[in-house]
Amino acid sequence: MINVKELYKSFEKKDVLKGISFKINHGESVAIIGKSGIGKSVLLKHLIGLIQPDSGEVWVEEKLVNTLSFTQLQSVRAQCGMVFQFGALFDSMSVEENIGLALSKLSEMNKEEVTQQISKSLAEVGMENSEKLMPSSLSGGMKKRVGIARAIAIKPKYLLYDEPTTGLDPVMTDSINRLISKIHKQEDVTSIMVTHELRTVFEVAERVIMIHDGKIKFDGTPEQIKLSNDIVVQQFISGNSTLLETEA
Ligand SMILES: Nc1ncnc2c1ncn2[C@@H]1O[C@H](COP(=O)(O)OP(=O)(O)O)[C@@H](O)[C@H]1O
Ligand SMILES: [Mg+2]
């Protein structure tokens, strides 16, 4: 379980998170939404201790993340597969080396197991036999897939995605969304994705948390958010989605 309690975070004079609390149970698939620049990535980074809060608590299972030593943090990160915005692959390393690096840092697999795990993860994201390719030769969608393969390779309990479909065309977005859903169903994981695209929310998430002005504006199901009377929620939804129109 992830338990975030009264999280506050400011940068210089800017108050970004102003008292955020929520719990996420094992097996949930949650989308964290909100306008660009509202603090979604900042929130996600708190979950794996990449950012320290000014006050509040972040619990991952029985560990209070914001008090851990580096070694203890590594054990939390070993449970959390992170798919960063823009893929974040190392350009000078092959696909195999990119995934292998995460595995050697965050798992205790031997060389043979690492090789097997890399090809298994690549197969799972539909990128079999791409071990030797360099990121520069991959399309945007393929880079995202490799980023997802890298995250699932460590066999995480939590999969955290930061804008997994941003910058992709609708066809590619749908195929990444299907992949995220498939992985969520197949593996025994909790999936948390940050996005500002409602297309992804309605296709992938069972629960939506909307952040606005440093606070939680909405926490419920995708069906409930469509029916929300809140003006800010409504504006976000109507200004955002083509999916709603096509469903109407
Ligand atoms: N390391 C940092 N130092 C200073 N300001 C930051 C830092 N990280 C994020 N911010 C600021 O915090 C706000 C929220 O950023 P972010 O979480 O990236 O937004 P988004 O919701 O688009 O993911 C932005 O105003 C951003 O400039
Ligand atoms: Mg962001």
The answer to whether residues 32 and 197 touch, using CB atoms and an 8 Å cutoff, is no
Per DSSP, which regions of 25-157 are E strands?
29-33, 55-60, 63-64, 80-83
In a mutational test of the pocket of ligand 1, which residue from 8, 9, 11, 50 has the highest number of ligand atoms less than 8 Å from its CB? 11
Q: Domain locations in the chain? A: 2-247
The ligand 1 atom at the shortest distance from the C-alpha of residue 194 is 23
What is the Cα Rg of the chain in Å? 18
As a 3-state breakdown, the chain gives helix, strand, coil percent values, each rounded to 5, of 40, 25, 35
d(CA 59, CA 64): 5
Check residue 85 and give its pLDDT.
78
41 CB within 6 A, ligand 1: yes
11 CB within 6 A, ligand 1: yes
206-225 confidence digits (pLDDT tens): 999 999 999 999 999 999 99
User: Any idea which architecture 2-247 has in CATH?
Assistant: 3-Layer(aba) Sandwich (3.40)
Sheet holding 55-60, edge to edge: 14-24, 2-11, 55-60, 63-64
103-121 confidence digits (pLDDT tens): 988 888 899 999 999 999 9
DSSP secondary structure string for all residues of 112-137: HHHHHHHHHHHHHTT-TT-TT--GGG
225-244 confidence digits (pLDDT tens): 999 999 999 999 987 644 44
Compute the distance from residue 115 Cα to the ligand 1 centre, in Å: 37
Kindly list the distances between the CA atom of residue 17 and the CA atoms of 65, 145, 148, 190, 227, in Å, as whole numbers in the listed order. Answer: 17, 30, 27, 23, 26
- Residues near ion ligand 2 (Cβ under 5 Å): 41
Q: DSSP letter for 46, please.
A: H
The ligand 1 atom at the shortest distance from the C-alpha of residue 43 is 17
Q: At residue 96, does pLDDT exceed 70?
A: yes
Record the tokens describing residue 193, joined without a space. 């994705």
The answer to whether residues 43 and 119 touch, using CB atoms and an 8 Å cutoff, is no
13 CB within 6 A, ligand 1: no
The answer to whether residues 155 and 126 touch, using CB atoms and an 8 Å cutoff, is no
Check residue 242 and give its pLDDT.
44
199 confidence band (pLDDT: 50, 70, 90): confident
Residue nearest to atom 20 of ligand 1 (CA): 37
The answer to whether residues 153 and 121 touch, using CB atoms and an 8 Å cutoff, is yes
What's the average model confidence in pLDDT over 128-142?
Answer: 95
Q: Which helix (H) or strand (E) holds 75?
A: helix 70-77
Check residue 128 and give its pLDDT.
96
Residue nearest to atom 6 of ligand 1 (CA): 11
d(CA 202, CA 212): 19
Q: Which of 196, 36, 16 lies closest to 208 in space, CA to CA?
A: 196
